[in-house]
């Protein structure tokens, strides 16, 4: 409670000097209006005119100084894997049967997961993972990163028309692969960017790292005016395929797929008309202080020494709790007054009057037109749909991304946004809510407002298959 009071104090204390000045300005205008216009014109001298002039200039300067910079999303490009890399169910089942021949129980478990995963037949994995057993080495991991990142960057340069030398800020997030030199240095080398580009390489931050990078880029763009920032969100599967047979650690092998996105952000005034979206808010929530939340996704060694990521059974519960935490911060920023009042009344009733009421989940459909929920798995999407009271159409983008591309980790939110655009549903003024979850446990939200009507293009990751969607994926696909 105290924490919220302190936060509100810091948010509103800035207003006091502004209010003071506004009061003065109001008083002056009243005084000037009292005197008749003729009287005014007769008494205007050079000093008067000069003073007026400086007053207007000062007011404008004040206004522009205090106004936070608008951050625009100029465009984004998702990596479109080649058809050659696809892993249909038959291939996955066969590979699993051969690799896990010594552990039939583990094989059955993997198969069951795959049947209920919500993935389709066209998801892709990198070359080395097509081998039996997978051939994991650093050179191949680098090649995978090259393929994904450079392909996305090339598309981005093509659609936006900017050159590599224009980029001032570069942020790369790739959770499980951080070679030296960093992936950001690799991008700078490939595209010969300028020597004072501000680059950062974030790693280990899980599937929500995309929004962390966006938040970081937003902060950097507030400091550096008239700049372009490129955020690259990807995940490299090659070095991290689990080579053991422990059940809890086989899940990522079944769900994670190759993917990546490159996003161009800017605070240039000239992008005001051309940019696709405006960034309204990014809210980050970290539940690491709670031990249960912290342990639900963790990297471990099994008894044979193989390293893999273990997903705990109470992952859904943790995700729900983290989301509630995040909503309590983002709610007040985006909800209309009616919902805020209902929520406040509910809190009052439950906490202060101690009435027996169910916690009220605000209706976010009144605040947002589109939802991009991290395509972590069918269970995640189902759980969030239930929690937020969303319809099937609202979560269609997430489900279809899971079907076509699988769980591409931090870039899944961008594939989902690409789906909504490819379907021609994005209109000017529409608000989008992106929700990402990640190990730690983190829940991050990003709110965008569409800046112009977006037409479905011939380019893009969805261009060749959007006509086949939406698909009705049964709950269990029998293999």
Partner 1 sequence: MMFVTLSCSLALCLVYLFYNFIDQRRSKSCYILHYECFKPSNDRKLPTEFSVDLINKCKNLGIEEHRFLLRALVSSGIGEETYAPRNILSKRGTLATLRDCQSEMDEFSIETLDTLFSLSGVSPQDIDILVVNVSGMTLVPSLTSRIINHYKMRADIKSFNISGMGCSASLISINLVQNMFKIHKNKLALVLTSEAIAPNWYNGKERSMILTNCLFRCGGCSILLTNKPALRKQAMFKLKCLVRTHLGSSDEAHACCRQQEDDQGHIGFFLGKALPKTATRGLTKNLRSMAPKILPLSAIFHYVLLVNIQKLRATYLHNTAKKRVTMNFKSGVDHFCLHPGGKAVIEGVKRSLVLAEEDVEPSRMTLHRFGNTSASGLWYVLGYMEAKMRLKKGDRVLMIGFGSGFKCNSCMWEVLRNLDDKNVWADCVDKFPPKLPIYPASRNMNGF
Specify the 3-state DSSP secondary structure of 262: strand
Nearer to partner 1, 167 or 422 (CB): 167
Q: Which of 106, 155, 160, 201 binds partner 1 (CB under 8 A)?
A: 201
Virtual torsion, Cα 360, 366, 372, 378, nearest 10 deg: 50
What tokens does 351 get? 């906490």
Nearer to partner 1, 55 or 471 (CB): 55
* 374: annotated active-site residue: yes
Cβ at position 19, least distance to partner 1 in Å: 12
Alpha-carbon distance 103 to 301, whole Å? 18
95, 240, 296, 370: the catalytic one is 370
Alpha-carbon distance 127 to 150, whole Å? 17
* 281: annotated active-site residue: no
Nearer to partner 1, 66 or 366 (CB): 66
Q: Which residues pair with 398 in a beta bridge?
A: none
Q: If we measure between CA atoms, which residue out of 8, 114, 41, 11 comes closest to residue 478?
A: 114
- Contact range with partner 1 by CB under 8 A, out of 47-55, 76-84, 338-346, 380-388: 47-55
Specify the 3-state DSSP secondary structure of 450: strand
- Contact range with partner 1 by CB under 8 A, out of 241-249, 365-373, 434-442, 448-456: 434-442
Cβ at position 195, least distance to partner 1 in Å: 5
Which 320-339 positions form the footprint of partner 1 (CB under 8 A)?
Answer: 325, 329
Taking each continuous run of H as one helix and of E as one strand, the counts in the chain are 16, 11
What tokens does 251 get? 């899940």
150 touches partner 1 by CB under 8 A? no
* 207: annotated active-site residue: yes
Q: Which of 198, 274, 342, 350 binds partner 1 (CB under 8 A)?
A: 198
Given a contact cutoff of 8 angstroms between Cβ atoms, the answer to whether 277 and 73 are in contact is yes
Nearer to partner 1, 292 or 351 (CB): 292
95, 201, 403, 451: the catalytic one is 403
Which 438-457 positions form the footprint of partner 1 (CB under 8 A)?
Answer: 439-442
Question: In the 8-state DSSP scheme, what is residue 225?
Answer: S
Q: How far from the centroid of its chain's Cα atoms is residue 430's Cα?
A: 17
Which 386-425 positions form the footprint of partner 1 (CB under 8 A)?
Answer: none
Nearer to partner 1, 4 or 105 (CB): 4
Do you know the residue count of the chain? Answer: 479
Alpha-carbon distance 133 to 42, whole Å? 93
What tokens does 95 get? 């590979």
- Contact range with partner 1 by CB under 8 A, out of 24-32, 272-280, 338-346, 427-435: 24-32
Cβ at position 288, least distance to partner 1 in Å: 4
Which 233-292 positions form the footprint of partner 1 (CB under 8 A)?
Answer: 284-289, 291
Cβ at position 22, least distance to partner 1 in Å: 11
Q: Which of 85, 156, 183, 254 binds partner 1 (CB under 8 A)?
A: 183
From residue 405, alpha-carbon distances to 129, 272, 337 in Å are 16, 32, 38
* φ, ψ for residue 200, nearest 5 deg: -140, 140
Given a contact cutoff of 8 angstroms between Cβ atoms, the answer to whether 298 and 309 are in contact is yes
* 274: annotated active-site residue: no
197 touches partner 1 by CB under 8 A? yes
Residues recognised as catalytic: 207, 286, 370, 374, 403, 407
């Amino acid at each position: 409670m105290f924490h919220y009071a302190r936060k509100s104090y810091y948010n509103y204390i800035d207003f006091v000097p502004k209010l003071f000045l506004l009061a003065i300005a109001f008083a002056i205008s009243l005084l000037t209006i009292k005197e008749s216009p003729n009287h005014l014109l007769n008494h205007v001298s050079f000093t008067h005119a000069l003073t007026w002039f400086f007053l207007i200039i000062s007011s404008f300067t004040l206004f522009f100084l205090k106004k936070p910079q608008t951050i625009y999303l100029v465009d984004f490009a998702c990596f479109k894997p080649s058809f050659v890399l696809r892993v249909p169910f038959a291939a996955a089942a066969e590979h699993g049967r051969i690799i896990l021949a010594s552990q039939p129980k583990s094989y059955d478990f993997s198969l069951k997961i795959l049947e209920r995963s919500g993935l389709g037949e066209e998801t892709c994995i990198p070359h080395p993972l097509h081998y039996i057993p997978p051939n994991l080495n650093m050179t191949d991991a680098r090649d995978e990163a090259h393929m994904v990142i450079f392909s996305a960057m090339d598309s981005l340069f093509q659609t936006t028309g900017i050159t590599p030398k224009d980029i001032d800020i570069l942020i790369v997030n790739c959770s499980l692969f951080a070679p030296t030199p960093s992936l950001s240095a690799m991008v700078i080398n490939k595209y010969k960017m300028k020597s004072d580009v501000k680059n950062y390489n974030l790693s280990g931050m899980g599937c929500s790292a995309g929004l962390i990078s966006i938040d970081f880029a937003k902060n950097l763009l507030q400091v550096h005016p008239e700049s372009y920032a490129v955020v690259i969100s990807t995940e490299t599967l090659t070095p991290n395929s689990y080579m053991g047979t422990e059940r809890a650690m086989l899940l990522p092998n079944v769900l994670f797929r190759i993917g990546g996105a490159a996003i161009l952000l800017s605070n240039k005034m000239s992008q005001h008309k051309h940019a696709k979206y405006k960034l309204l808010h990014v809210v980050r929530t970290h539940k690491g202080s709670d031990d249960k939340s912290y342990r639900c996704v963790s990297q471990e060694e099994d008894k044979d020494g193989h390293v893999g990521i273990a997903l705990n059974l109470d992952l859904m519960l943790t995700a729900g709790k983290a989301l509630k935490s995040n909503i309590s911060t983002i709610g007040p920023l985006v909800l209309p007054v009616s919902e805020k009042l209902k929520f406040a009344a509910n809190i009052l009733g439950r906490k202060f009057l101690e009435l027996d009421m169910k916690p009220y989940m605000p209706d976010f459909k009144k605040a947002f037109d589109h939802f991009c929920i991290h395509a972590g798995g069918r269970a995640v999407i189902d759980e969030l749909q239930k929690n937020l009271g969303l319809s099937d159409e609202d979560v269609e983008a997430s489900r279809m991304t899971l079907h076509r591309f699988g769980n591409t980790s931090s870039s899944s939110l961008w594939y989902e946004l690409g789906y909504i655009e490819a379907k021609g549903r994005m209109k000017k003024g529409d608000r989008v809510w992106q929700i990402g979850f990640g190990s730690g446990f983190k829940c991050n939200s990003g709110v965008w407002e569409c800046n112009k009507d977006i037409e479905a293009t011939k380019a893009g990751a969805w261009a060749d298959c959007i006509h086949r969607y939406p698909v009705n994926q049964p709950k269990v696909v029998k293999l």
